[in-house]
Amino acid sequence: MRAYELVQINMKLFSHAYSVFCPWLMILGSIQMTYADSTSFGQHNFKKRIAYSSISHMSFIILGIGSISDIGLNGTVLQIISHGFIGATLFFLAGTSYDKLRFLYLDEMDGIGPNAKNIQDLKFLRFKS
């Protein structure tokens, strides 16, 4: 909800400053997206990988805030909602996987499908979205 507050406060209260800093938001969002994506793939801890991918997902929200267009802001609100659902579900699945398998590192899991079929089906649906 903080990202939605950023959109509302910036657009209504600080409209001149918002228009001045929007190019910087676009640059910051692009750098954040590139850095978080590249560090996410290097993580072997399941929860850290989800956290870095969540940061990368928030960079799309920053790009939408910096776009100063109606379509960009509508997409930002949609991304905020989907980030809430997807992030909460992925962290829930990471915790459930840890409780079931007692492994937190992806190298140790050796495939979660045979051990927890229902969890694997739910993960597939969430990663697909």
For residue 81, is pLDDT > 60? yes
**Between 70-101 and 46-66, two packed helices, what is the crossing angle to 10 degrees?**
170
What CA–CA distance (Å, rounded) separates 69 from 76? 10
Residue-level pLDDT at 9: 77
Give the mean pLDDT of the chain: 81
Asked whether residue 125 carries a pLDDT value surpassing 80, the answer given is no
Burial of residue 29 (CB within 10 Å: 0-12, 13-18, 19+) is buried
